[in-house]
A and B are shown apart, each in its own frame.
Chain A
Amino acid sequence: MKKTNGKKLNKRNVKENISSKNGLSKRFESTYRVLSAIMIVLLLGMLVVMILGMPPIGYAQNPDNNEVAARYIESGLKETGAVNIVSGMILDYRAFDTFGESCVLFVATICVTIMLRMDGGANSSKAGEDENPEAVTALKKKEDEDTDYEDGITAIKTRTGRGVSRSRRVEHLKSHTFENVDSSFFEPEHDTILQKCAKFIIPIILVFGVYIVLNGHLSPGGGFSGGAVIGAGFILYLSAFGFEDTERFMNAKVIKWVTFGALLVYCLAKSYSFFTGANHLESGIPLGTPGAILSSGLILILNICVGMVVACTMYSFYALVRRGRI
């Protein structure tokens, strides 16, 4: 941040040809560096002092070994029906936090989509024809603003996110949109070794991911970790077989509706549970026999929802970074 300030000053100085100010900004920058180093050392020292005085790890008398943890361990199984206490904690005792966390994922997806989805790219010619001209002029105006070379380069870098050569980047910058780039530019190389291996590995990965999600309430795992595994499987499939094959089952529409459905079910199910809990009503959700796959009330459903959201998020991040649309 200070650096950009310095740059601005430098630019102005070049224009006005004042050399004394340049020296001043340089001196300021070096003092700034020294000061920031001192600040960091101070903060570090403070945190070390704090940690040295903290209760030691794993002692029975520690403050965090209190009635809260005791109840989670002792009656967690009885109250939530989940053999995996961690699942019981995050999806039942403290489900509101976890609902917040899945909304963090949701908002992160939205932001990455804003950043990387190129509506002005391959689809722009279509959009320009049948939609209102105001939007198009606004779009053009925005592109004009991007004329600053460096800004453009950063935008291109962030949008493509892959190591295109410098000359190629400049080419994109000149064309401003990706209309001139044929879709093969974003396609992965069809590598035979990768494809053969992927054929063996992908089914195992996907089944393992589904297992982690479905057994979240019984064994370590759950929606977040299982969803990540499933998402990784999809990404491997995409890298091996390309967009055309992947789009048969994973495309923008599927991802949109799956994410929507999963979040909606999560939101409604948890709202019902919160509402009945706070108003001291019977929720009527059976807990089942502990240890069975169909048990522990809402936890299984919530794990499936979280797993779907995470898998779609992982895949769409990769696709967006790779080619600017899902």
Chain B
Amino acid sequence: MEFIKNFPFFSIMLGMFSAIVSSVLGAKAAKYVARTALFIIMVLSGVLLWYTYAQGGGSYVFIMGHFPAPWGNEIRGGSLEALFAVFVSFIAFFCVIGGSKAVESDIEEKKQSLFYILVMLMTSSLIAMCYTNDLFTGYVFIEINTIAGCGLIMIRQTGKSIVTAVRYMVISLMGSGLFLIGVTMLYTITGHLLMSPIQETVRELAATGDYSTQLTIIIGLMTVGLAIKSGLFPFHMWIPDAYGQSNVVSSCLLSSVVSKGYIFLLIKIYFRTLGFDIVKDSGVLEVVFIFGIAGIIIGSLMALREKSLRRMIAYSSIAQIGYVYMGIGLGSLAGVAAAIFHILAHGVTKSLLFLSSAEFTDGSHARRIESLKGEASQHKASALSYAIGAFSITGFPLLAGFVSKLLLGGAAIGLRTRQWFALIALAISTILNAFYFLRTVVFMFIAPSEEHDAEIDIEKGPEKFVSIINVRNPLYDLALLALIAVNFILGLFSGPIIDVINEGLGLFS
């Protein structure tokens, strides 16, 4: 076996290892350990992507231990998994280096090393979730991810963030519970926990027609469980507080990679465990499609009436998760590919938006959108980055958001009734997106008028933004630049990435 094939295993173990080592280190050392580890993981995943895609390595199974398929644990490497691992480690690395000053000012010094432990555990569990070839391993790492997510929210240690973390934990654990019931039931009717043997058994069951009700309910339970955890529409109530109250790095990570990890696992379960045809026949995808569309519309409307900047960006996440589920709900390979592309595009854009908004708001004060006037003159770099992020999420050509919307629209065309719903939802939400995001950009770039400021002071005196933490350092600029660059790369050179996604999806089934 080639040495490169060990890289998924190295990335997972390196993440865990650095988290364990950080537990005895101080804040500063833990920071550098986390940065180094994330960078190495990014490089390893990149090399694996190059090997599996450009070198034609295809996909392979890696035995975790001495025992092969139905007996021991396994992970699976392939181009799509490698792409997702690159995505996760890239976002985590640049959020961690870009938000280092925000972390320093938000978190008690003695607890900063704990923050980096959580980031490392979260990243490596996300990477394990993406590489796993075993349903139960998937569940174990979902658990790590959930608890780490709670920690990331409450590490600011304000009353509100603790309440938010408790709410996140309750809702998220409900999702894990439903998923776990699904896994146990699937084990009872198939007798396996590894993905490939389950798929064989499920195919046989589908051919004979045994346990068809059970299979449908299992698909439903797993889908609902992971949908709750990623924040699909009716289960979205935890999102605005969780992203709005937490530290800026936590919001970036939670919105861009954590919720996406669950969706990636769901796609992997659909293709590798149950078989996409069986999932399509079960009718679950129609429900996912409807709720995806509802999420798009309602998320956009809620963002429109939101007054605080961070919470508005958080609400827009609900709409973007809706896009992803709508893509999956289209029930075609093109739809799922578009959904995966949207995962990447949204991850890059949302972390850019959160990171650049860090200079205008620190999350604790409800920064009114009206009070953003004239910010661009003070914070040129972050205002410009915010504007690029806003353009991208609205679907401006040359940027990532445009390509993903184009792909989603293209995937919808030709699917009789669904195409109209999908296209109309896309159109409406694009208009709403443009309205609420560009409103903030316009506010930033117009000069503040004296009288208006006074008015705000009287009206919303206590709510007005008072203190701004200086989050800027060269690394912050570097992180913004990198995120913008990748945004443009996804927008201009989307061809190879779509190829990787299509090839990876082909290898899944």
Binding site for B on A (CB under 8 A): 1, 46-47, 49-50, 53-55, 62-69, 71-72, 79, 92-97, 99-101, 103-104, 106-108, 110-111, 113-115, 117, 119-120, 127, 131-132, 134-135, 138-139, 141-142, 145-146, 148, 150-152, 154-155, 158, 256-257, 259-260, 263-264, 267-268, 271, 273-280, 283
Contacts and interface: CB of A to CB of B under 8 A. Distances in A.
A278 B111 contact: no
B105 interface: yes
A96 B73 contact: yes
Interface in B112-151: 114, 117-118, 121, 125, 128, 134, 136-137, 140-141, 143-144, 147-148, 150-151
Contacts of B111: 113-114, 117, 119
B106 interface: yes
Contacts of B377: none
Contact of A277 (B66, B121, B181): B66
Contact of B114 (A100, A114, A267): A114
Contacts of A114: 111, 114, 151, 154-155, 157
Contacts of A49: 213, 217
Contacts of A259: 23
B222 to A, nearest CB: 13
B36 interface: no
14 contacts: A1-B167, A92-B66, A93-B72, A95-B65, A97-B134, A103-B16, A103-B19, A104-B140, A106-B121, A110-B114, A131-B109, A158-B162, A256-B24, A267-B20
Nearest to B1: A279
A103 B144 contact: yes
Of A92, A108, A141, chain B has the most CB atoms within 10 Å of the CB of: A141
B64 A278 contact: yes
Contacts of B63: 277-278
Contact of B160 (A67, A115, A139, A145): A145
B67 to A, nearest CB: 5
Contacts of B147: 104, 107-108, 111
Contacts of B151: 107, 110-111, 114
Contact of A119 (B104, B108, B160): B108
A124 B155 CA distance: 17
B381 interface: no
Nearest to B72: A93
B67 A93 contact: yes
B364 A95 contact: no
Contacts of A268: 17
A120 B108 contact: yes
Contacts of B106: 138
Contacts of A94: 65, 72-73, 136
Contact of A111 (B150, B157, B201, B467): B150
B70 A68 contact: yes
A54 B185 contact: yes
B163 interface: yes
B128 A274 contact: no
Nearest to A5: B237
Contact of A46 (B6, B167, B187, B217): B217
Contacts of A271: 13, 17
A154 B148 CA distance: 22
A138 B71 contact: no
A114 B111 CA distance: 7
B237 A1 contact: yes
A155 B144 contact: no
Contacts of A155: 159, 162
A313 B95 CA distance: 30
Interface stretch (B188-196, B404-412, B447-455): B188-196
B32 interface: no
Given A119-B110, A256-B24, A277-B72, 4 more contacts: A53-B211, A106-B121, A107-B148, A142-B156
B287 interface: no
B73 A95 contact: yes
Given A53-B211, A101-B140, A68 B159 contact: no
A151 B164 CA distance: 11
Given A54-B214, A107-B148, A119-B110, A134 B105 contact: yes
Contact of B201 (A63, A92, A106): A63
Contacts of A275: 6, 9
Of B9, B66, B114, B162, chain A has the most CB atoms within 10 Å of the CB of: B66
B214 A53 contact: yes
B240 to A, nearest CB: 11
Contacts of B150: 111
A15 to B, nearest CB: 13
